[in-house]
């Protein structure tokens, strides 16, 4: 007999409200974190990190934004794939992530950088860095109140005139896509659980604002529901969100390698400059 009721499952399968959060841990779930680390380190997929050749181009571009010796904070640094390269390029680097496994890996493979195990929504630096980076569209995984808090903390962490580099998805990413649902049986375990389980997957679109990706995991001992968000931005909407926190535009690009901005790009990278003291 399973340890959940039909009513509980039915509740999980309702269409989520815009920016609804589930209670289940994702980024720091002990088992899922090991799966995420494996995805980060797989050079053949763009699952948790981009491929090594793309990371190399991104690092070369980011190194061009600040002088050697500048202090850089990479938030959501994962296993240090960017930070290690940035430190080798001559920057004084700090990486911050709240995945214990990723931070342990980064520390073991990068002796130049400092690594901190912490949620970036709780970081408390003041005027310490010349540049802060948030790469692989992590900003759009946050809901609006979380993004406001992050912008406040990044602004405080930067020196006057410091740069905030982040990439996001644009509405072009959702063009032609429709809401969908599917299920899959994992008899020998999988990404979400090492135990046999069934995954009920669904995607929901909220105009050109956001997409919710929901996975309901059903296993012998119960049911878990994971709800992840991808929020979409235009140049104008992203600038309007950053400006009240004290940031001004320093440039927009098609991605975090510094490619010139194109209107049909499914992603974009923004470089904001700290222009106000708060």
Is 35 a member of any domain?
Answer: no
The answer as to whether 161 is a domain residue is yes
**237 burial via Cβ count (<10 Å: 0-12, 13-18, 19+):** middle
Across residues 230-235, what is the average pLDDT?
A: 96
Pair 22, 74 in one domain: no
Give the count of domains, the chain: 2
Q: Has residue 34 been placed in a domain?
A: no
Residues 224 and 127 in one domain: no
Is 37 inside any structural domain? Answer: no
CATH of the domain at 95: 3.40.50.150
Question: 139 and 82, same structural domain?
Answer: yes
For 53-105, the pLDDT digits (tens) are: 999 999 999 999 999 999 999 999 999 999 999 999 999 999 999 999 999 99
Asked whether residue 31 is domain-assigned, the answer is no
Q: Which one is predicted more confidently, 27 or 52?
A: 52
One domain for residues 86 and 213: no
Residue 237 and residue 165 share a domain: yes
Same domain, 65 and 162: yes
CB 243 within 8 A of CB 143: no
pLDDT in tens, 183-199: 999 999 999 999 999 99
Please say whether the beta carbons of 229 and 211 come within 8 A.
Answer: yes
Residues 110 and 242 both lie in one domain: yes
Range with the poorest average pLDDT among 23-27, 105-109, 234-238: 23-27
Same domain as 132, residue 249: yes
Q: Does residue 248 fall inside a structural domain?
A: yes
Question: Is 218 contained in some domain?
Answer: yes
Same domain as 178, residue 66 = no
User: Same domain, yes or no, for 154 and 180?
Assistant: no
pTM score > 0.95 for this model?
no
Residues 117-154: pLDDT tens digits? 999 999 999 999 999 999 999 999 999 999 999 999 99
Angle of helix 30-41 versus helix 100-109 axis, rounded to 10: 40
- Residue at token pair 């850089």: 72
User: What distances in angstroms separate CA 230 from CA 54, 88, 121, 211, one per listed residue?
Assistant: 21, 32, 18, 5
Same domain, 212 and 92: no
38-53 mean pLDDT: 75
Burial classification of residue 217, based on how many CB atoms lie within 10 Å of its CB (0-12 exposed, 13-18 middle, 19 or more buried): buried
Q: What is the pLDDT of residue 26?
A: 74
Same-domain pairing of 113 and 240:
yes
Residue 104 lies in a domain: yes
Domain containing residue 91: 42-169+233-274
């Amino acid at each position: 007999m399973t340890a959940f009721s039909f009513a509980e499952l039915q509740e999980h399968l309702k269409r989520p409200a815009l920016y609804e959060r589930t209670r289940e841990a994702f980024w720091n779930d002990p088992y899922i974190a090991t799966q995420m680390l494996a995805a980060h380190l797989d050079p053949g997929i763009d699952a948790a990190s981009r491929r090594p050749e793309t990371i190399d181009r991104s690092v070369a571009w980011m190194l061009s934004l600040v002088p050697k010796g500048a202090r850089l904070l990479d938030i959501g640094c994962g296993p240090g794939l960017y930070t290690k390269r940035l430190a080798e390029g001559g920057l004084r680097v700090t990486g911050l992530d709240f995945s214990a496994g990723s931070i342990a890996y980064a520390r073991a493979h990068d002796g130049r950088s400092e690594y901190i195990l912490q949620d970036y929504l709780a970081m408390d630096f003041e005027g310490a860095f010349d540049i802060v980076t948030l790469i692989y569209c992590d900003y759009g995984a946050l809901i609006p109140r979380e993004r406001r808090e992050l912008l406040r903390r990044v602004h405080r962490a930067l020196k006057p005139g410091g740069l905030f580099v982040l990439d996001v998805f644009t509405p072009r990413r959702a063009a032609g896509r429709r809401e969908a649902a599917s299920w899959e049986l994992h008899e020998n375990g999988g990404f979400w659980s090492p135990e046999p389980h069934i995954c009920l997957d669904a995607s929901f679109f909220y105009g050109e604002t956001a997409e919710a990706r929901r996975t309901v995991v059903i296993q012998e001992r119960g049911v878990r529901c994971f709800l992840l968000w991808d929020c979409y931005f235009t140049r104008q909407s992203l600038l309007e969100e950053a400006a009240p926190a004290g940031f001004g535009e320093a440039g927009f690009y098609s991605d975090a390698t510094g490619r010139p901005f194109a209107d049909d790009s499914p992603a974009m990278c923004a470089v904001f400059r700290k222009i106000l003291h708060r």
